[in-house]
Structure 1
Amino acid sequence: MDILKRGNESDKFTKIETESTTIPNDSDRSGSLIRRMKDSFKQSNLHVIPEDLENSEQTEQEKIQWKLASQPYQKVLSQRHLTMIAIGGTLGTGLFIGLGYSLASGPAALLIGFLLVGTSMFCVVQSAAELSCQFPVSGSYATHVSRFIDESVGFTVATNYALAWLISFPSELIGCALTISYWNQTVNPAVWVAIFYVFIMVLNLFGVRGFAETEFALSIIKVIAIFIFIIIGIVLIAGGGPNSTGYIGAKYWHDPGAFAKPVFKNLCNTFVSAAFSFGGSELVLLTSTESKNISAISRAAKGTFWRIAIFYITTVVIIGCLVPYNDPRLLSGSNSEDISASPFVIALSNTGSMGAKVSNFMNVVILVAVVSVCNSCVYASSRIIQALGASGQLPSVCSYMDRKGRPLVGIGISGAFGLLGFLVASKKEDEVFTWLFALCSISSFFTWFCICMSQIRFRMALKAQGRSNDEIAYKSILGVYGGILGCVLNALLIAGEIYVSAAPVGSPSSAEAFFEYCLSIPIMIVVYFAHRFYRRDWKHFYIKRSEIDLDTGCSVENLELFKAQREAEKQLIASKPFYYKIYRFWC
């Protein structure tokens, strides 16, 4: 136990401040406050490479990894922040509305599709957690690909990942406006876009604490809403509730059936919606450089299993029992924020006064979810842009960090993309965003594949360099096999998505329909070769296991102390009751 205490104390920073004995007057205070605010936007010089390191024999990649590990982010995120960010990252419009599109493929297809993508997502988060805890560097898993696979592959993954968040920001701003318009259609939607745009941008200028506290509050609302629906859903399935027609059970799994035909195509059709719903689950691991301690990251990652099991699989089963897949309202939504297409609203629409009020309740929940996604869009994209700038893969100005740990240029670029939200006033808005999202449509699966591959390469490098797995700060619950399974599943999901894009359900094949979902494939190929051409490196298409850097930026600096701390922690958990051991295994 003493070892644990000493280890924890060594992680704390002591800050010594001097205070003046002069009592400032009000004007001094206001002047000091304004001056401090102005100074906080000045560039931080804490991440400048020391001269002795610059002149050392370290390779260029080792210097880059040192720089990424030394970015002056503020480490303020605690366990409660990370837990709720992890939960909030998975609960958005993809679950509350997009679920209806997948349900039209049949409840069994919906369940299988979400189980496959959910299993893949669990493998991805575990793999990313292992790497993020071992190497808590700026950009996290987006920059780990460059470290463990190849720099050009890493650049392709990081730029596509950032682009996905950048494009989502204006789209979700439009979602905020359309959600508000449900109650008031007399105001131009562009006004609501402007209000939410300013709110989100100002919020992110409060730094990571502003982002985290907002996500904490919004996630609590979303979790409560899901639990309320699950309880009401179980009551309705059992035959309770107002205007009940009796026990429902699995009636809709028999009539109209569990699968819509053709079965395989409809199963593949659920992959896109499932990926959209699960997208953002990995966001919590991007916060590794701003977390107070590594254990908080690992525990948030462990909770992924429960989030998938409770918030998705349970919800999917209940929705499949309450709404028949041939209900025309599932595909009647005019846009991705139209609550009339929400299976939650449809499921409760026949419950008398409850059904009449549920639309307003769900609209509030959807608004909360959309604001949360907007917040995450700016946070995630700005951090990836900053990491790409710091690693030299984007202009160095993109790496700008102020004294409060805010990546201001990254936030500014996110804000520039956010202005596309004013396209809500254009009649071509839907068409524009259809093709904007086509730029990164299938890239989520590719990003997840590369995260799992990075973990596999990390384990292979340890073995090739004669290092022990005991050096790993946090081992994936699934081990290296989780990375392998994640790669296999994501490869199958990509293949299934290409197939259903080439031969869509219920409509003839066309180049336009194909590229709406697969345009990101040729774009990623172009980006990859353009970056390789820029590097002028056509000999090394991957980093050899023996050459992978396993030390720079590693969180385990004193191996013996780390092993002693881990052993002491195991003994502490072993002394606890059985239920606590089970809790700590999963949480």
Structure 2
Amino acid sequence: MISIAGVIGAGLFIGSGQAIADAGPAVILAYVAAGTLVVLVMRMLGEMAAAQPDSGSFSTYADRAIGRWAGFSIGWLYWWFWVLVIPLEATAAANILANWIPAVDPWIWALLITTALTATNLFSVKNYGEFEFWFALLKVVAIIGFIAVCALAVLGLLPGSDVSGVSRLTGEGGFFPNGAGALPAALLTTMFSFMGTEIVTIAAAESKDPEKQIGRATRSVIWRISLFYLASIFLITCLVPWNDSRLTDPGYGSFSTALATIGIPGATTIMDVVVLVAVASCLNSALYTASRMAFALARRGDGPRRVGHTARGGVPRAAVLLSVVVGYLAVIANYVVPEKVFSTLLATSGAVALLVYLVIAISQLRMRRALLARGVELPIRMWAYPYLTWGVIVFIPVVLIYMAIGSDLQLELWSTAITAVVVVALGLLVQRRQRGRLGTGVEGASADPR
């Protein structure tokens, strides 16, 4: 269930409205491109994870395939991304609850929600799994119901609805109302909603049968993306004009706007409940993922030693607390300091998803040869290796270059780039110190700590 719907959150239910407003009906192509990229990257990651399950996932594989600095850098960048997701999702949930119970300030709701989900992550990984199972089940039921109702409306079979057909795909300025140049901007928004698909390889490392679970999860990616993302976005663009102001209104979002357009009573309330479950799920996943990445980094000597310890039941409580403390500070900053401070922090993780996927592709390109040379069996294999892997490696820099020179996403890109440069510099320093210690250690010691 984590692989099926664990990371479907506000990015899809609300954030997709901004992507539709940016690119118009052509946003479908952005979702197809992002979905294809995710499918290929998950196949690569699945190949490495099934052969060598590890809670450090791609950070560990980057360490082994590229170098210590790469594992350090991408691991802490990924941790930073999920730490910032905590206040983002907590704030989204708090705004919904504050609308229901205005007597309680939103910041109090945000801290209460974060505290409650921290408790589930502190005691047992089973608690995380149980919560995510039910959260995911509710989201799956909601999305399937949404697709069924909207499909009936498009076919003209929904009683009481006067909206039908697919004319809006080419009306209101055509399929590309804002030009083809709007697609890369929409692509970054869609990548944010897909980010987290790789969590299943981290969680599977703590399951009873990692190889089997990783195989099932990676195979489910194709139909999951096709059903939950592409089908729902296609139906929304058929039913809602791309320039409908409600799409970018945080009080509505794309799903709520679609239901309201076809005359479903109480559409906003229905979607508020679904979004509340979705953001609670993503916050839960953010805490879990950030803590496991910090734990794996500390175990390799790339983080505070204390963070690499586990309590009874194998839970890395110090890693959970480190992640949640930074998350708490970000929640408080979101309400106390000027809004620009938090939005600037958020921009520092804007393109992390693309950097993570690029590192996964490079790692798989190098690890495949190393694993086969050692005679390691590969239960899952990347399709058309190395051609599709190289395709991903070329595609991502092209998108990043376009973002840097031809879109309005320069703040996100350059903020992420500056953050990445600082983290890489720290990674190179850690690697140099490690080599220095080995060089002055026992004579004949290997220069490679692995």
TM-score (structure 2 length as normaliser): 0.91
Q: Indicate the residue corresponding to 1:89 in structure 2.
A: 6
Aligned-residue CA RMSD (Å)? 2.4
Q: Greater helix share, 1 or 2? A: 2
1:492 maps to 398
Q: Distance in 2 between matches of 1:180 and 1:158?
A: 33
Q: Alpha carbons of 1:462 and 1:425: their partners in 2 closer, same or farther (altered >3 Å)?
A: closer
Measured in 2, the distance between the counterparts of 1:251 and 1:200 equals 41
**Bigger mean CA offset, 97-106 vs 490-499:** 490-499
- Deviation at residue 496 of structure 1 after TM alignment: 3.0
State whether residues 69 and 430 of structure 2, in contact with CA within 8 Å, keep that contact through their aligned partners in structure 1: no
Q: CA deviation at 1:400?
A: 1.1
Q: Distance in 2 between matches of 1:538 and 1:194?
A: 39
- Whether contact under 8 Å (2:163, 2:261) holds in the other structure is no
Stretch deviating more after TM superposition (145-154 or 187-196)? 187-196
1:492 and 1:88 mapped to 2: Cα distance?
Answer: 30
Matched, 1:347 2:258: yes
The equivalent of 2:233 in structure 1 is 316
Contact 2:25 2:169 in 1 (8 A): no
Cα offsets for 1:472-496 (capped at 9, x unmatched):
1322355444432332332233223
Shift of 1:538: 12
Q: Secondary structure at the match of 2:205?
A: helix
Superposed CA deviations along residues 54-92 of structure 1, whole A, max 9, x for unmatched, are xxxxxxxxxxxxxxxxxxxxxxxxxxxxxx101223311
Partner letter of residue 414 of structure 2? C
Residue 184 of structure 1 aligns to which amino acid in structure 2?
I
Choose 1 or 2 for highest CA Rg.
1
In the alignment, the residues of structure 2 paired with residue 317 and residue 493 of structure 1 have an alpha-carbon distance, to the nearest angstrom, of 23
Aligned to 2:162: 245
Separation in structure 2 between the aligned mates of residue 85 and residue 538 of structure 1, nearest angstrom? 37
Alignment-derived partner of residue 427 in structure 2: 531
**Deviation digits for residues 77-130 of structure 1, max 9, x if unmatched?**
xxxxxxx10122331111101111111134442111111111110111111111
Give 1:297 shift: 1.4
Which of 17, 29, 37 is the equivalent residue of 1:120? Answer: 37
Q: Which amino acid aligns with 1:281?
A: T
Partner Cα distance (1:410, 1:172) in 2: 20
State yes or no: 1:385 paired with 2:301: no
- Aligned match of 1:514: 410
Give 2:366's aligned residue.
457
Query: Counterparts of 1:321 and 1:493 in 2: how far apart (Å)?
Result: 27
Answer whether contact 2:302 2:430 (CA < 8 A) is retained.
Answer: no
**Residues 234-313 of structure 1 mapped to structure 2, 5 A cutoff:** 234-245=151-162, 247-261=164-178, 263-293=179-209, 294-313=211-230
What are the residue-to-residue correspondences of 1:119-138 with 2, within 5 Å?
Answer: 119-138=36-55
Unaligned 5+ runs, structure 1: 1-83, 505-512, 540-546, 553-587
In 1: Cα distance, 2:420 partner to 2:163 partner:
53
Mapped partners of 2:213, 2:319: distance in 1:
26
**Corresponding position of 2:19:** 102
- Structure 1 match to 2:242: 325
Structure 2 gaps of 5+ residues are 436-445
Report 1:349-428 matches (<5 A): 349-352=260-263, 354=264, 356-420=265-329, 421-423=331-333, 425-426=335-336, 428=338
| 2:389 counterpart of 1:483 | yes
Paired with 2:217 and 2:266, the residues of 1 have a C-alpha distance of 35
Q: Structure 1 residue 242: deviation in Å?
A: 4.3
* TM-aligned CA distance change 1:537 to 1:201, over 3 Å: closer
2 CA distance for matches of 1:246 and 1:200? 41
- What fraction of aligned residue pairs are identical, expressed as a percent? 29
SS in 2 for 1:137: coil
Q: Which amino acid aligns with 1:422?
A: I
Contact 1:122 1:305 in 2 (8 A): yes
For residues 522-562 of structure 1, give each alpha carbon's deviation from its aligned partner in whole angstroms, at most 9, with x where no partner exists. 221222123213433899xxxxxxx999xx8xxxxxxxxxx
For residues 25-44 of structure 1, the aligned pairs below 5 Å read none
Tell me the distance in 2 between the aligned counterparts of 1:231 and 1:478. Answer: 36
- Whether contact under 8 Å (2:2, 2:136) holds in the other structure is yes
Distance 2:102 2:318 in 1: 36
Higher RCO (C-alpha under 8 Å, 6+ residues apart): 2
* 3-state SS, counterpart of residue 361 of structure 1: helix
Q: Match for residue 440 of structure 1?
A: 349
For residues 483 and 216 of structure 1, the distance between their equivalents in structure 2, rounded to whole angstroms, comes to 32
1:320: how far off?
1.1
- For the structure 1 residues 534 and 459, does the alpha-carbon distance in structure 2 shift closer, same or farther, using more than 3 Å as the test? closer
After superposition, the C-alpha distances for 1:429-484 in whole angstroms (9 at most, x for unaligned) are x3222111122211210111111111110123246x4x55x721322355444432
1:156 counterpart = 2:73 = yes
Q: Amino acid of the residue matched to residue 190 of structure 2?
A: A
For residues 567-582 of structure 1, the aligned pairs below 5 Å read none
Letter in 1 for 2:120: L
Contact kept, 8 Å, 2:168 with 2:237, in 1: the verdict is no
Q: Does the 8 A contact of 1:120 with 1:490 survive in 2?
A: no
SS of 1:403's equivalent?
coil
Q: Aligned pair count?
A: 438
- Provide the TM-score with structure 1 as the length reference: 0.71
* Residue 226 (1) aligns with residue 135 (2): no
Aligned partner of 1:365: which letter? V
- In 2, the alpha carbon distance for the partners of 1:402 and 1:479 equals 41
CA deviation after TM superposition for structure 1 residue 398, in Å: 1.4
